């Protein structure tokens, strides 16, 4: 495992960060993950780094004021091997490729002290100088943190400051190896700031995390060489373990070890170490609480991308159950931007500005969905899928889908969308039916989305907005639901025909919204009936009298021309579509 260790040569400030292969990051005074706030000679963004699994690639950012020294010479870019270091200002950066020893079994301690966390909090410090100030400083620093790694760094450093005879401190996280629960070190610090911890006691960790108590072990001063273990080899003769619950239900533990405590006044060794347990528990509980809060804020931020505050108000404390996949009656909206692929090719030399422009347009769509209490289900390149009916029933906002669609149409296509000379900027398909919605995915990744027939149908219907030349289309199930609402005026929807869409076996009646009093729409409806009944000559006569900008008129005429305007004997009244 590779880590970057940063150390201020003028003070005790430092941090270490685990490196992820092929994941670039920025080093600087104000970067979120790798901040070097103590050194004013380091620019806000000073260097771009990437760990390739073997070496650390380092490149100075052109705007950075001060040089990067490697091998006592200023460098613009270079490769760093494990064990080597570079310097910016008065800060040294060391690349380490080491792994702390995993918890190991060993013999029983000379003394064991087990205390419940609530009992620790009720007791007073026997010796307080400096510790209250450190706890106050801890809270101030932690609440200002914006990153979980920063929280860990602060907690470990404050533990070393507050327990003078502590040599090493580790944060362990629980993981599952089959049915076996193991604890692995994910972060550590040492008194000298460089050394890798020598190990930890498996029995001590198991005792503390199983009992949910703070446990202290003290080993004999001079162990029998025949039974000596890593604790004495590492020069440690005491260790304590504080169980924690961090992030979201993540079991963890603080493991602190060191050399014999110096006796003061009439305090015994165990009494001094009990003071240390209290300090460690207070630091650990503060860290754990802020860690969970940060994780909840991050989850809330992620959920805000999919849900409106109104929907989030329904979320109980058991969010997993609330978001679990379940079958529901959904109304699904599928909206696709027009000309995205062609525009991407045209803007190959300016993809970032093109992306920003596309994002602005997509924001119009997502804002309309969220404003109507819908859920953002997925993004498919330049397309957005939203739905209603989960996690709350569609009866909570039965018109949300059509109101969101109409807002998008008015913004991107204009109100005269039935008969327009200007191509629409987006196409919208709406379908209703039973589907599964919730947190859906694989073992590695999950997301809030919907799965089922109305999702596929909404996508297919959206595809029909191109040949029909109308940006908003609905299926008959959606129209039936919407038209049954008391506030919906009669004849709100205009039927455009029966289609068997690509990849689907059942025919679909497709509708659009009647956007106003258009004199010739009844004539189109009459021509559609004649077309479906097989009276094509009469249908053609009526359709030819309609405006050429009306897309459904053109599609019907083109379809009949494909049969030389002669209705086939097998005609069922349904138009077959073989392409999406």
Q: What percent of the chain is helix, strand and coil (3-state, nearest 5)?
A: 35, 30, 40
Instruction: Find the farthest-apart pair of alpha carbons in the chain and give their distance in angstroms, rounded.
Output: 111
DSSP string covering 185-226, please? EEEEEETTSSPPP---BHHHHHHHHHHTSEEEEE--SS--TT
Closest among 23, 67, 24 to 43, alpha carbons compared: 67
**Crossing angle (nearest 10°) for helices 400-412 and 476-483:** 110
pLDDT of residue 174: 86
Provide φ and ψ at 18, rounded to 5°.
Answer: -75, 135
Cβ atoms of residues 565 and 536 within 8 Å: yes
The beta-strand segments (E) located in 68-139 are 68-70, 73-75, 77-80, 85-88, 91-97, 111-115
223 C-beta neighbours (distance < 10 Å), count: 17
What lies within 8 Å, CB to CB, of 118 at 6+ separation is none
Would you give per-residue pLDDT tens digits along the chain (580 residues)?
788 989 899 887 888 888 888 888 899 998 877 889 899 999 999 999 999 989 999 999 999 999 999 998 999 999 999 999 999 999 999 998 876 666 666 657 777 888 888 887 787 777 666 777 888 888 888 887 777 888 888 899 899 988 888 889 999 888 776 667 788 888 888 887 777 776 788 888 888 988 999 998 887 765 554 444 434 434 578 889 999 988 767 889 999 988 876 666 565 667 777 888 889 999 998 888 888 888 777 766 666 666 665 666 665 555 666 778 899 999 999 998 876 555 445 555 554 554 566 667 788 888 899 889 898 887 766 789 999 998 888 788 899 999 999 999 888 876 677 887 777 788 999 999 999 998 776 545 567 889 899 999 999 999 999 999 999 999 999 999 999 999 998 889 999 999 999 989 899 999 999 877 788 999 999 999 999 999 999 999 999 999 999 999 999 999 999 999 999 999 999 999 987 6
DSSP string covering 237-269, please? -EEEEEEEEETTTEEEEEEEEESPPPP-TT--H
pLDDT of residue 525: 95
d(CA 1, CA 51): 11
d(CA 383, CA 336): 4
Q: How many helices (H) and strands (E) does the chain have?
A: 17, 25
Two tokens at 363?
Answer: 């924001």
pLDDT of residue 115: 84
Residue whose pair of structure tokens reads 């802020």 in the numeric block:
290
d(CA 64, CA 27): 11
d(CA 511, CA 524): 13
Alpha helices in 389-499 (DSSP H): 400-412, 453-463, 465-468, 476-483
Q: Give me the torsion for CA of 238, 239, 240, 241, rounded to 10°.
A: -160
CA distances from 47 to 5, 44, 153 (A): 15, 10, 21
Q: How far is CA 12 from the centre of its chain?
A: 35
Cβ atoms of residues 27 and 36 within 8 Å: yes
Closest among 390, 230, 250, 274 to 323, alpha carbons compared: 390
């Amino acid at each position: 495992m590779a880590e970057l260790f940063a150390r201020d040569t003028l003070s005790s400030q430092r941090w270490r960060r685990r490196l992820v292969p092929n994941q670039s990051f920025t080093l600087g005074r104000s970067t979120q993950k790798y901040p070097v706030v103590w050194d004013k000679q380091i620019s806000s963004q000073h260097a771009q780094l990437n760990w390739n699994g073997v070496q650390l690639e380092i490149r100075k950012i052109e705007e950075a004021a001060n040089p990067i020294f490697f091998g006592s010479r200023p460098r613009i870019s270079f490769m760093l091997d494990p064990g080597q270091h570079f310097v910016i200002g008065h800060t040294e950066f060391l690349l380490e490729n080491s792994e702390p020893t995993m918890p190991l079994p060993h013999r029983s301690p000379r003394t064991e002290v087990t205390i419940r966390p609530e009992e620790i909090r009720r007791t007073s410090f026997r010796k307080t100088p400096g510790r209250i100030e450190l706890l106050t400083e801890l809270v101030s620093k932690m609440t200002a943190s914006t990153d979980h790694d920063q929280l860990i760094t602060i907690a470990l450093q404050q533990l070393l400051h507050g327990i003078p005879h502590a040599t090493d401190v580790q944060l362990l996280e629980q993981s599952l190896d089959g049915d076996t629960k193991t604890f692995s070190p994910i972060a550590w610090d040492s008194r000298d700031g460089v050394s890798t911890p020598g190990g930890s006691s498996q029995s001590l960790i198991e005792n503390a995390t199983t009992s949910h108590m703070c446990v202290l072990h003290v080993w004999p001063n001079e162990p029998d060489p025949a039974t000596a273990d890593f604790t004495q080899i590492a020069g440690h003769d005491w260790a304590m373990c504080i169980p924690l619950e961090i992030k979201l239900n993540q079991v963890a533990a603080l493991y602190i070890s060191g050399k014999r405590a110096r006796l003061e006044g009439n305090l015994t060794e165990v009494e001094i170490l009990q003071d240390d347990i209290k300090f460690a528990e207070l630091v650990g509980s503060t860290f754990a609480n802020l860690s969970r809060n940060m994780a909840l804020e991050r989850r809330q931020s992620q959920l805000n991308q999919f849900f409106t505050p109104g929907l989030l108000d329904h979320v109980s404390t058991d969010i997993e159950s609330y978001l679990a996949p379940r079958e529901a009656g959904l109304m699904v909206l599928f909206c696709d931007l027009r000309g995205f692929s062609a525009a991407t090719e045209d803007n190959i030399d300016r993809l970032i500005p093109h992306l920003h422009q596309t994002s602005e347009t997509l924001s119009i769509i997502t804002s309309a969905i969220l404003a109507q209490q819908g859920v953002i289900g997925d993004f498919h390149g330049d397309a957005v899928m939203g739905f209603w009916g989960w996690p709350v029933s569609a009866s909570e906002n039965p018109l949300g889908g059509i109101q969101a669609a109409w807002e998008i149409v008015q913004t991107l296509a204009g109100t005269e969308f039935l008969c327009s000379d200007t191509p629409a900027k987006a196409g919208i398909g709406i379908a209703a039916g039973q589907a599964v919605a919730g947190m859906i995915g694989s073992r590695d990744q999950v997301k809030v989305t919907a799965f089922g027939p109305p999702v596929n149908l909404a996508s297919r219907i959206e595809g029909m907005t191109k040949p029909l030349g109308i940006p908003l289309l609905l299926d008959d199930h959606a129209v039936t639901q919407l038209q049954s609402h008391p506030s919906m005026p009669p004849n709100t929807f205009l039927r455009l025909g029966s289609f068997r869409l690509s990849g689907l076996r059942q025919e679909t009646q497709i509708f659009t919204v009647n956007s106003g009093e258009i004199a010739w729409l009844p004539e189109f409806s009459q021509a559609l009936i004649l077309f479906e009944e097989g009276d094509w000559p009469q249908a053609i006569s009526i359709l030819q009298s309609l405006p050429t900008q009306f897309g459904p008129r053109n599609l019907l005429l083109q379809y009949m021309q494909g049969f030389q305007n002669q209705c086939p004997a097998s005609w069922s009244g349904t138009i077959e579509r073989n392409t999406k």
